[in-house]
Structure 1
Amino acid sequence: MTLVSVEGVTRRFGDVTALDDLSLEVRQGEFFALLGPSGCGKTTLLRVLAGFDLPDSGAVTLEGEDLLRLPAHRRPVNLMFQSYALFPHMTVEKNIAYGLEREGLPRAEIRQRVGEVLETIGLTSAARRRPAQLSGGQRQRVALARAIVKRPRLLLLDEPLSALDKKVRAEMQLELKRLQHEAGITFLVVTHDQEEAMSLADRIAVLNHGKVEQIDTPVALYQRPRTRFVADFVGANNLFTGTLRENGVEIPGLGLLPCKAPSEPSADRPVDLAVRPENVRLAPGPLRGTVLDVSFYGGTSRVAVGVEGREEPVLVNVSGAVTVLTGGHVELAWDPEDAVLIPGG
């Protein structure tokens, strides 16, 4: 069931078009992510949904009701800021209760709801502490608790984990998923971190220059990108531009590279061929090159191979350590079904 519908929304700032006839739908109860580079329109869309900005054209509805006619404070939407914006002079429980107190709810109900959310985030014992006495991860939990205690129908999160170090960020990714599931609230997160979006979201919308490039599940987005931008932006990829032939893709200077024949054959048209590094093997195949670099990451190694006739190296991910050395000559191969064809070239 659709909770939020964005239809043909455009927002301009002078000569800059932040949102360009953008449309998407967010389903009830899902964890939805907006992913894209800086300046792609993610935060502008978030501000439109929160009520801090109005589009020049288009419609936004929540369960069929016009959201744009409501001021920010009357929308069943809450926004968790990137900076957390906690009150430093208030205790944890006072920070969480602040919004409920402003709404004039009975004290007994406020105490009950604050107590429930403190238990959910695992900070009951820290209820009387102030933000300065908490770790970064704990402050993030308090900010999230303050947002969900008001029980919004939609919770917006702007780069929620960007202020955390890598280890705490990984822990909080799991925590966010758990809290979202337990709270039963629809989450919409804005991020430029691919790993964060892939690990958190049920579905992801990839934005570029104010437009939607693709909306899909993380697995489908990674395995079957529909545009060159998505293939290049989401994870590492080896991209080759050439012409589709009956038995492969002909790449200028490299020859014919293998791919699975499309369901609707249409030879002699421009295409991009995308092959993920983990699908490339150091084995006899159509490409030959020289090892430029070998990087070991513990569980995997990444090998960069320079191929004559191609400016960028071909990346190969190998499980564990590799025996090839920088300067060595190797051949590269992949299975045809592991190569993704992208129209346009």
Structure 2
Amino acid sequence: MNAPLLEVQQVSRSFGDVRALDGVSLTIAENEFFALLGPSGCGKTTLLRSIAGFEHPDGGAVLLGGSDLLALPPNKRPVNLMFQSYALFPHLSVAANIGYGLKREKLPKAEIAQRVDEVLETVGLTAMAKRRPAQLSGGQRQRVALARAIVKRPRLLLLDEPLSALDRKVRAEMQLELKRLQHEVGITFVVVTHDQEEAMSMADRIAVLAGGRVQQVATPLELYRNPANLFVADFIGTSNLLPGPSAGQHLVVRPEDVRLVAPGAGRLDGTVADTQFQGGTSTVAVDVPGQAKPFLVTEHGATEAVRGTPVGLAWQHEVAVGEGLA
């Protein structure tokens, strides 16, 4: 990991009786694409707003490059927050929207024009410079908001659910675009999302939060293959949960690690309840006696499984991603 840029140390924040952040500690590296991931109410947005300066923690410290960030007002922090709504000015052109913050800082007009032109090229909107936001698609408006944030050259860019307003196809395109831009501009990105697929596809590392606490910080692959607890195992990807070696413990098996075999030839037997074809793969749901939820199996291409057919479920013991998780 590169040198630490942001250090969050035992940060707590309460709203009345609700403990939004409960002793959160994180270290984020220079030039890292970092995701804060978790369900609604887990504390990820409160943490983001605390870093930006719109919330003040009850306790703990936040350091940027070793300096106390909490001592600075929001407008003095070398941090930029890109809002979920994009908040573009409808009466201004794309170029004027992007240069607005630089103009308020009273930078020379020639420098503003140069920096706006550079960032327009980076986000692929040079041809749209004179258009108004209403003349743009959702994906293009998202690019304008991003350009406005990075043109100020913050050391840290915070993104709050940046792709939530986009449709599925555009979201997938913008996930790739955000990753490309982050590498190109060399700014540390911290993105808040509740969408684990989004976090897994973009982030170098992910912090999974629940109940105001950090459950695990790891790379996407580590989270998927070595979850720290049952919450992470169930939240990241799709899981089949089985009773573990001791009471209250579980074994986690991923659907792609399971094979359909003849009844009696696997570890479990069941009956095919449903099949879904999703293009490159199929998902087979198998009802297993004693299991509250169907056991899921992922097969490449179209499946030959037929609803109502008895089947066996087989997997190698070593592919179980978590044993004894609680």
TM range (shorter): over 0.9
- 1:318 aligns to 2:304 (yes or no): no
Contact residue 228 and residue 342 of structure 1 kept, 8 A: no
Task: Name the residue aligned to 2:146.
Answer: 144
Cα deviation, residue 270, structure 1 = 5.4
Q: How does 1:66-145 map to 2 (within 5 A)?
A: 66-145=68-147
Task: Name the residue aligned to 1:274.
Answer: 252
- 1:335 aligns to 2:286 (yes or no): no
* TM-score, scaled relative to structure 2: 0.97
Task: Name the residue aligned to 2:23.
Answer: 21
Cα deviation, residue 313, structure 1 = 1.0
C-alpha distance after superposition, 1:208-264 (max 9, x if no partner): 0000011000111111111100000011000112325xxxxxxxxxxxxxxxxxxxx
CA distance in 1, matches of 2:323, 2:54: 38
SS in structure 1 of the partner of residue 86 of structure 2? coil
Task: Name the residue aligned to 1:52.
Answer: 54
CA distance in 1, matches of 2:244, 2:177: 44
Q: How does 1:299-314 map to 2 (within 5 A)?
A: 299-314=280-295
Code of the aligned partner of 1:82: Q
CA distance in 2, matches of 1:72, 1:10: 19
- Aligned partner (choices 12, 15, 27) of residue 14 of structure 2: 12
Code of the aligned partner of 1:290: T
Cα deviation, residue 202, structure 1 = 0.3
CA distance in 2, matches of 1:184, 1:344: 38
* TM-score, scaled relative to structure 1: 0.91
Contact residue 271 and residue 341 of structure 1 kept, 8 A: no
Cα deviation, residue 272, structure 1 = 1.4
Q: How does 1:29-40 map to 2 (within 5 A)?
A: 29-40=31-42
Judging changes above 3 Å, is the alpha-carbon distance between structure 1 residues 343 and 10 closer, same or farther for their aligned structure 2 residues? farther
Contact residue 245 and residue 324 of structure 2 kept, 8 A: no
Cα deviation, residue 271, structure 1 = 2.9
Contact residue 78 and residue 152 of structure 1 kept, 8 A: yes
Structure 1: which 5+ residue stretches go unaligned? 245-268
C-alpha distance after superposition, 1:158-200 (max 9, x if no partner): 0000101111111111111111111100000000011110110
Contact residue 91 and residue 127 of structure 1 kept, 8 A: yes
Code of the aligned partner of 2:305: V
SS in structure 2 of the partner of residue 304 of structure 1? strand
Judging changes above 3 Å, is the alpha-carbon distance between structure 1 residues 152 and 18 closer, same or farther for their aligned structure 2 residues? same
Cα deviation, residue 343, structure 1 = 3.8
Choose 316-325 or 7-16, whichever is displaced more.
316-325
- 1:153 aligns to 2:140 (yes or no): no
CA distance in 1, matches of 2:270, 2:324: 27
Task: Name the residue aligned to 1:298.
Answer: 279
SS in structure 2 of the partner of residue 285 of structure 1? coil
CA distance in 1, matches of 2:147, 2:279: 36
Judging changes above 3 Å, is the alpha-carbon distance between structure 1 residues 90 and 298 closer, same or farther for their aligned structure 2 residues? same
C-alpha distance after superposition, 1:43-91 (max 9, x if no partner): 0000000000100000000011000000000000000000000000000
Contact residue 244 and residue 323 of structure 2 kept, 8 A: no
CA distance in 1, matches of 2:325, 2:128: 56
Task: Name the residue aligned to 1:264.
Answer: none
SS in structure 2 of the partner of residue 243 of structure 1? coil
CA distance in 1, matches of 2:284, 2:220: 25
Cα deviation, residue 321, structure 1 = 1.1
Judging changes above 3 Å, is the alpha-carbon distance between structure 1 residues 81 and 296 closer, same or farther for their aligned structure 2 residues? same
Code of the aligned partner of 1:282: L
CA distance in 2, matches of 1:83, 1:178: 22
Task: Name the residue aligned to 1:175.
Answer: 177
CA distance in 2, matches of 1:108, 1:48: 35
CA distance in 1, matches of 2:245, 2:70: 46
Task: Name the residue aligned to 1:260.
Answer: none
Code of the aligned partner of 1:117: V
Contact residue 226 and residue 342 of structure 1 kept, 8 A: no
Cα deviation, residue 19, structure 1 = 0.3
